[in-house]
Amino acid sequence: MGHSTCSHTKLTLNFLQSSSWIAGFFLFLITFLVSFTTNIEASSVRPPANAITNALPEKSTSQAKQKTPGGFVPGKTLGNRSQTDLWRVMRRNIKGTVSIPDKKAGVLIQSAGDSWMKFRNNDLYKYSSWTILGMIGTLLLYYLLRGTIRIERGMSNVTIQRFSKFERTGHWLNAGAFIILAITGLNMLYGRYLLKPLLGDELFATIAGTGKYLHDFVAFAFVIGIVWIFIAWVRDNLFSKDDIGWIAKAGGLLSKGSHPPSRKFNFGEKIVFWITILGGVAISITGLALLLPFQIQLLPGELGIHNMQFAQTWHTIIGIIMIVVVLAHIYLGTIGMEGSFQNMKTGQADRNWALEQHSLWLEEVEKSEEKQGTTDARQPAE
Amino acid sequence: MARMKFLCDAERCIECNACVTACKNENEVPWGINRRRVVTINDGKPGERSISVACMHCSDAPCMAVCPVDCFYQTDDGVVLHSKDLCIGCGYCFYACPFGAPQFPQASNFGSRGKMDKCTFCAGGPEDDNSAAEFQKYGRNRLAEGKLPLCAEMCATKALLAGDGDKVADTYRERVVSRGFGSGAWGWGRAYPGQSGGR
């Protein structure tokens, strides 16, 4: 029938071309009527009897009664589906369909948000407070009991190069970025309770907003710093059997005059290094997942909101661990030990300090310097 | 004082998306954000149900609890609103919200989510009622005009109800009684735990 309509249209066009518009009009009328009747015939919404459809074959009523589908509500009720079953699965992240572009919005109710909130607001808040305060308390107590660890032989005023400019630049890039990230990060967890009552809503929100942007962008400096110090120091931070002696004497931290020998880095410094590197990598990946929402898959399965919650949770946990470790690192690098800060400030270590803290390294350096010295001595003669 | 609540009657919702459109139009919601959406469960299968969902304005709202700058507040009507001036766009409310209500404009540049946007129960924000600034940030303040949210007002099948929680519950109760089967007031168990009526 569609075929005949088509040929009529062609004829109509021919008549239009010969400008015989009256005949054309009649032909148009005929075409219109033909197509109209065609439409009436085709206008039934039912498929033709021989059409292939995906409709289920109709069951006889006796069959339907024998096999009641799951959730059938017996008795004279108007519904035939169990409401409870439907609403129960709602709480299990079932995904429906939505006609808006964001298909993730098909999740009606995500109960994982409750767990995330409870962890962040209760457990994380509580335990990270205790951990940070515990570390500060321990360091304070240690300082009161032990005081600054002095160089027993006193300053020799002879210095040895411990860190090159390359090493120091990497360290301070990483350290500077870390301090900014740590402060702005802690503000996200504690600012609302500690700073907001002091500063007021507006000022605090401005500071927190600036802090968030700082956190987002300084993060890249931190990532560069992590790669930098890894390249600079990974060889000196591989664990060796010299570390056993250091562990046995607890690094000499607990007794005066105890100085277990170590190379360029002692066991404690190696631990700080590896926590910084491994933690740094983990915090960078989770941080990137937070920066680029729904772009980086951390968990198997569908890339949904649980990925973001997972990233946020571990980003914070790792951050707190790193802050606690770095607090101890800063303590020993500054007021905790005489002569340690100048290592990273100028790159020069006092010889007596090196003799007590890194005796094996001092030996190595002096041996190679002796060799260097002989060559140096020859140089001016030329 | 009335406690404002939404209720979507899943037995009546026909997934026409008029509520979504009405909301977008009335509040001039930015591109990419849907303050209200219609989710269809078991689409095309027996037992298909559609539910229109937006911010449920919870009694003990998770978004309020997790916000690092505390930019949320709850009105005397129980409507959960927020200040876009204070919001820093961290996304925490979005992680916590069970209903997926808080949304962020399409990230304009790297690391920036912009200010959070969500359903206001057509009640605007902290600015002066019906001021230009309020409309620009939060959309229409119909509550201040003595009207109810447009999504529910124009729902053709009256599936979506909004207003005083007691009255909404009464209407729904009548429906359940006349239907003679299940309730299924979507989201009420989570949003208003342990409260059959009142607040």
Q: What is the mean pLDDT of each run of 10 residues along chain A (382 residues)?
A: 45 50 68 52 58 57 46 44 66 84 88 93 96 97 92 88 94 97 96 95 95 94 97 93 87 82 91 96 95 88 89 97 97 92 92 90 87 54 39
Q: Does A109 touch chain B (CB under 8 A)?
A: yes
Q: In this structure, is residue A381 part of a structural domain? A: no
- Chain B contacts of A97, Cβ < 8 Å? 39-40, 43
Span B32-39, average pLDDT: 93
Q: Does A212 touch chain B (CB under 8 A)?
A: yes
According to the model, what pLDDT value does residue A141 have? 96
Q: Does A72 touch chain B (CB under 8 A)?
A: no
Instruction: Name which of A87, A124, A189 to mutate to probe chain B: the one with the most chain B Cβ atoms within 10 A of its Cβ.
Output: A87
Q: Name residue A219's amino acid.
A: A
CA distance linking residue A280 with residue A254, whole number of Å: 29
pLDDT digits (tens, 9 = 90+) for B111-121: 567 899 999 99
Q: Does B106 touch chain A (CB under 8 A)?
A: no
pLDDT greater at residue B26 or residue A59: B26
Which of B34, B46, B69 lies nearest to residue A208, judging by beta carbons?
B69
CA distance linking residue A154 with residue B165, whole number of Å: 78
DSSP state string for B130-182: T-HHHHHHH--BTGGGT---HHHHT-TTS-EEEEEHHHHHHHHHHHHHHHTS-
Asked whether the beta carbons of residue B40 and residue A217 sit closer than 8 angstroms, the reply is no
What's the structural domain count of chain A? 1
According to the model, what pLDDT value does residue B194 have? 52
Distance of CA A333 to the CA centre of its chain: 29
According to the model, what pLDDT value does residue A260 have? 87
Q: Does B183 touch chain A (CB under 8 A)?
A: yes
CA distance linking residue A121 with residue A119, whole number of Å: 6
Q: Does A117 touch chain B (CB under 8 A)?
A: yes
Q: In this structure, is residue A146 part of a structural domain? A: yes
DSSP annotation of B193: T
Q: Does B88 touch chain A (CB under 8 A)?
A: yes
Q: Does A105 touch chain B (CB under 8 A)?
A: yes
Question: Which CATH number do you get for residue A240?
Answer: 1.20.950.20
Asked whether the beta carbons of residue B100 and residue A305 sit closer than 8 angstroms, the reply is yes
3-state secondary structure of A2: helix
Which of A105, A308, A312 lies nearest to residue B37, judging by beta carbons?
A105
Q: Determine how many CB atoms are found less than 10 A away from the CB of residue A225.
A: 22
pLDDT band at B2, cuts 50/70/90?
Answer: confident
Asked whether the beta carbons of residue A305 and residue B113 sit closer than 8 angstroms, the reply is no
- Chain A contacts of B115, Cβ < 8 Å? none
According to the model, what pLDDT value does residue B27 have? 94
Domains of chain B: 4-191 (3.30.70.20)
Judged by average pLDDT, the poorest of A324-328, B25-29, B192-196 is B192-196
| Residues in Cβ contact with A13 at an 8 Å cutoff, skipping those fewer than 6 apart | none
ipTM given for this complex: 0.85
Q: Which two tokens stand for residue A183?
A: 């402060």
pLDDT digits (tens, 9 = 90+) for B57-100: 999 999 999 999 999 999 999 999 999 999 999 999 999 999 99
Q: Which two tokens stand for residue A285?
A: 């990946």
Q: Does A56 touch chain B (CB under 8 A)?
A: no
The sign of the torsion formed by the CA atoms of A212, A214, A220, A225 equals negative
Q: Which residue has the tokens 């898959």?
A: A297
CA distance to A201, A372, B19, B89, per residue, from B111 (Å): 24, 51, 32, 10
- Chain B contacts of A104, Cβ < 8 Å? 100
pLDDT band at B187, cuts 50/70/90?
Answer: low
Q: In this structure, is residue A5 part of a structural domain? A: no
Q: Are strands B72-74 and B49-53 parallel, antiparallel or unpaired?
A: unpaired
CA distance linking residue B5 with residue B8, whole number of Å: 10
Which of A77, A97, A208 lies nearest to residue B43, judging by beta carbons?
A97
CA distance linking residue A131 with residue B149, whole number of Å: 47
Instruction: Give the phi and the psi of residue A159 in degrees, each rounded to 5.
Output: -115, 155
Which of B49, B95, B182 lies nearest to residue A116, judging by beta carbons?
B95
Q: Does B21 touch chain A (CB under 8 A)?
A: no
Q: Does B38 touch chain A (CB under 8 A)?
A: yes
Q: In this structure, is residue A30 part of a structural domain? A: no
Q: In this structure, is residue A100 part of a structural domain? A: no
pLDDT band at B196, cuts 50/70/90?
Answer: very low
Q: In this structure, is residue A207 part of a structural domain? A: no
- Chain A contacts of B46, Cβ < 8 Å? 69, 81
pLDDT digits (tens, 9 = 90+) for B130-178: 999 999 999 999 999 999 999 999 999 999 999 999 999 999 888 877 7
Q: Does B109 touch chain A (CB under 8 A)?
A: no
Domain boundaries, position A145? 115-163+234-362
Asked whether the beta carbons of residue B100 and residue A114 sit closer than 8 angstroms, the reply is no
- Chain A contacts of B85, Cβ < 8 Å? 202, 205
The b/e string for B16-51 (b: 16+ C-beta within 10 A; e otherwise) is: ebbbbebbbebbebeeebbbbbbbbbbeeeebebbb
Q: Which two tokens stand for residue B20?
A: 């979504």
Kindly report the average pLDDT of chain B as a whole number. 87
Asked whether the beta carbons of residue A81 and residue B47 sit closer than 8 angstroms, the reply is yes
DSSP annotation of B119: -
Cβ(A99)–Cβ(A81) under 8 Å?
no
Q: Does B146 touch chain A (CB under 8 A)?
A: no
Smallest CA–CA distance from B21 into chain A, residue: A100
Cβ(A79)–Cβ(B179) under 8 Å?
yes
% of chain B beyond a pLDDT of 70: 85
Q: Which of residues 306-345 of A touch B (CB under 8 A)?
A: 308-309, 312
The H or E element containing residue A207 is helix A201-233
pLDDT digits (tens, 9 = 90+) for A300-345: 888 889 999 999 999 999 999 999 999 999 999 999 999 899 999 9
